[in-house]
Structure 1
Amino acid sequence: IVAQSPNNLGVNHHCEEHAEGNYFTCVGSGPGYSSVLSAQFLCSGFAVEDQFQPVTSDETVAVGGTVTLTCRVQDNDNSSLQWSNTAQQTLYFGEKRALRDHRIQLVQSTPTELSISIANVNLSDEGEYTCSIFTMPVRTAKATVTVLGVPQRPVIKGYPGPIVEGGTLELSCHSSGSKPPARLRWFKGAEQIPGRPDVVDPEGKTFTVMSSINYTVSREDNDAIISCSVGHESLQTSDKSMEQRIQVLYKPSVRIQPESDLPREGEKFFLQCVGLGNPEPSVFKWERKEGELPLLSKQDGSYLYFELLNKSDNGLYHCEADNGIGKGEAEYQLSVLDPTAMSTSSGIDHAVIGGVVAVIVFILLCLLIVLGRYLIRALAGTYLTHEAKGSDDAPDADTAIINAEGGQSGAEDKKEYFI
């Protein structure tokens, strides 16, 4: 703002800013006097940049972490910068430590910057910190520090032990110490499964979150790993989780495995009752649908042994396996083969194979004979052609060939061509 003396008598004019706002008072001075003009001007429509105004930034830090507070000014008139905490206790005044808290350290101190760090931050450190510069008037700036509560590792409760197939699994999971409230998720292996909405319970400045699942188990869930994972913005690397392996009890599924697919009369033979369940079946029962088991058969656990197979052993065999949770069963139709019939069938098969081979050999021989005769005739024709072309008596090769093949020339000519 420029003011001029109306009489040009060497009077200096300048404007002074008021501390309470953008008001300016015009002051005139000259040799031996000064006067204050009664007019005041309100500065509006444009911004006046204050180079002494401190500038700070808000910070967020997790419990146990370290936060750095930085205060800067564009210019300094040799006034000191100061940081004070939420209780307005001075932390640093320039390079001088004012509060005996060894967690707080000086990072940098220059005429235009004062930076400090607070290590091992806890929830009580949250709040507004003030940077001040002691100019006339004093200028201040606020920096809000937000402290994140780190959630504890989640805990799964409610697993009763092995569950029978078709039963209901109910598990709960909780994690405490988070701020703001954490998020809980459930997984079966790598697959996320739905859980009930989180329940948030405030505990002072932090929160405890809880969630639960409830679903019907099947045999495919046996040995599955159920995990509860807690997610939070303070966990920058990965979520925290807890796992629970579950056991599902189910009745056996049964099949009968024969020793051979071609049981022959007069041979030893066995059938095995294979049961898959949890737990494994320990009780097996064999029977034949048409009546009693053969006299020469013997049951040993899951096996049914036949000492000497006989046609009378033919029939439908039934196996039952029991593991205490339930029973499973399977059937097998035993058909004993006659070894004589097997040999006859084998002989017939060999005869058929031999006949096929003989036919193939005969066809190959016929092809060789035909091919040989064709080659002989072709070679003979080529020879006659060359002889005819080399003879002085024949007018051309074609005439010589015709005479040779038609027998129109004499015996001497034929000898000449065939020698």
Structure 2
Amino acid sequence: MGRARRFQWPLLLLWAAAAGPGAGQEVQTENVTVAEGGVAEITCRLHQYDGSIVVIQNPARQTLFFNGTRALKDERFQLEEFSPRRVRIRLSDARLEDEGGYFCQLYTEDTHHQIATLTVLVAPENPVVEVREQAVEGGEVELSCLVPRSRPAAVLRWYRDRKELKGVSSGQENGKVWSVASTVRFRVDRKDDGGIVICEAQNQALPSGHSKQTQYVLDVQYSPTARIHASQAVVREGDTLVLTCAVTGNPRPNQIRWNRGNESLPERAEAVGETLTLPGLVSADNGTYTCEASNKHGHARALYVLVVYAN
């Protein structure tokens, strides 16, 4: 998860004007919307400017620039243009506390001012996805998705296998930002183990068509299965046969047991984990061999009938 990409929103123009009786428009301002961390340009357009004093103030009514001269020591504000037609300042690394009305004041015979309203939006970070409890085949899994900070409140959506899942969302306003959460529940089987579920967050602070996503890999536990594979289909006296016990399960069984019916394994047999090696086969090795595996969800057993043919 990283910081939201910085970008400058297009300026949203809301023209306003103020003038004395019989005079033309003197001051015009542009309202601005910017994403937190981005760059905003605050513009005052001047009409019939005669060289009078121009003052730019922040929402706290602190003077930023006085006739083109910096008055407030905040280097994030830079004077980009001061001309008879326009005063333009640039705010970098916009913060929520920068939000509010910026005053453009023109001191002529009558003092004129207009307010450029700065709105700061907060893009969501990558959502945090957690599981309530361990998922087991045949049961339900509940996932939660949290975006602790956004403005406006982020919209959360769930996706699985490219299909949207219906979640339940809630939000809480914390000052100027929102904390938003969503939960989703669905049944799972062993085939769902390793599947991907996506939580996506969107709001207007992100560029059009963009979102923040977090992928969650399902961990579904299930009982084991076992199957024996032989190194060759037909075995004769003197051959070496290797049996492999292919086991699945979550958690994966960490111990495999080899047996031969009611008899002990041949003395020459070598059992190491999933493999049983039977060298120098003789007819006395005939019998039903089994491998067994278990985990906390169940037990699995596989059979192999050995028939040794004479040469």
The structure number with the bigger radius of gyration is 1
Deviations 1:314-340 (A, max 9, x none): x7x36342222322233445454453x
2:178 aligned with 1:207, yes or no?
yes
In structure 2, relative to structure 1, the CA distance for the partners of 1:308 and 1:119 (3 Å cut) is closer
Partner of 2:80 in structure 1?
107
2:97 aligned with 1:124, yes or no?
yes
Partner of 1:272 in structure 2?
244
What is the CA distance between 1:212 and its match in structure 2? 1.7
2:169 aligned with 1:198, yes or no?
yes
* TM-score normalised according to structure 2 size: 0.73
| Preserved CA contact (<8 Å) 2:157 2:167 | no
> Counterparts of 1:99 and 1:281 in 2: how far apart (Å)?
69
Deviations 1:211-249 (A, max 9, x none): 123233333444455554433333449644555555333
What is the CA distance between 1:111 and its match in structure 2? 1.6
Partner of 2:281 in structure 1?
308
Q: Which residue of the other structure, out of 184, 187, 199, is the alignment partner of 1:216? A: 187
In structure 2, relative to structure 1, the CA distance for the partners of 1:272 and 1:120 (3 Å cut) is closer
**Helix, strand or coil for the counterpart of 2:27?**
coil
Q: CA RMSD in A?
A: 3.7
Aligned length: 288
Flag the structure with higher strand content.
2
Flag the structure with higher helix content.
1
Deviations 1:259-317 (A, max 9, x none): 311222454435333323331352335445xx86897885735527374333993x7x3
> Counterparts of 1:165 and 1:174 in 2: how far apart (Å)?
26
> Counterparts of 2:242 and 2:66 in 1: how far apart (Å)?
95
**Amino acid aligned to 2:116:** A
| Preserved CA contact (<8 Å) 2:259 2:291 | yes
**Amino acid aligned to 2:84:** P
Q: Which residue of the other structure, out of 141, 166, 177, is the alignment partner of 1:169? A: 141
| Preserved CA contact (<8 Å) 2:226 2:248 | yes
Which runs of structure 2 are paired with 1:223-262 in the superposition (5 Å)? 223-224=194-195, 226=197, 228-236=199-207, 239-242=211-214, 244-262=216-234
| Preserved CA contact (<8 Å) 2:237 2:281 | yes
In structure 2, relative to structure 1, the CA distance for the partners of 1:328 and 1:297 (3 Å cut) is farther
Deviations 1:133-190 (A, max 9, x none): 3345444433221111243453334454x543334322322122211101234456x8
**Amino acid aligned to 1:83:** I
**Helix, strand or coil for the counterpart of 2:138?**
coil
Deviations 1:333-386 (A, max 9, x none): 5454453xxxxxxxxxxxxxxxxxxxxxxxxxxxxxxxxxxxxxxxxxxxxxxx
Partner of 1:91 in structure 2?
64
Greater mean deviation of Cα atoms: 330-339 or 113-122:
330-339
Q: Which residue of the other structure, out of 328, 336, 340, is the alignment partner of 2:300? A: 328
**Amino acid aligned to 2:170:** V
In structure 2, relative to structure 1, the CA distance for the partners of 1:191 and 1:280 (3 Å cut) is farther
> Counterparts of 1:272 and 1:258 in 2: how far apart (Å)?
6
**Helix, strand or coil for the counterpart of 1:166?**
coil
* Percent identical: 30
> Counterparts of 1:206 and 1:267 in 2: how far apart (Å)?
74
Q: Which residue of the other structure, out of 71, 88, 103, is the alignment partner of 2:44? A: 71
**Amino acid aligned to 1:272:** T
What is the CA distance between 1:258 and its match in structure 2? 1.7
> Counterparts of 2:72 and 2:270 in 1: how far apart (Å)?
89
In structure 2, relative to structure 1, the CA distance for the partners of 1:232 and 1:19 (3 Å cut) is closer
Unaligned runs of 5+ in 2: 1-18
> Counterparts of 1:146 and 1:200 in 2: how far apart (Å)?
21
> Counterparts of 1:253 and 1:309 in 2: how far apart (Å)?
30
What is the CA distance between 1:106 and its match in structure 2? 1.8
**Amino acid aligned to 2:143:** L
In structure 2, relative to structure 1, the CA distance for the partners of 1:257 and 1:144 (3 Å cut) is same
**Helix, strand or coil for the counterpart of 2:168?**
coil
In structure 2, relative to structure 1, the CA distance for the partners of 1:103 and 1:294 (3 Å cut) is closer
> Counterparts of 2:44 and 2:285 in 1: how far apart (Å)?
103
**Amino acid aligned to 1:108:** E
> Counterparts of 2:38 and 2:243 in 1: how far apart (Å)?
69
**Amino acid aligned to 2:223:** K
**Helix, strand or coil for the counterpart of 2:226?**
strand
**Amino acid aligned to 2:167:** R
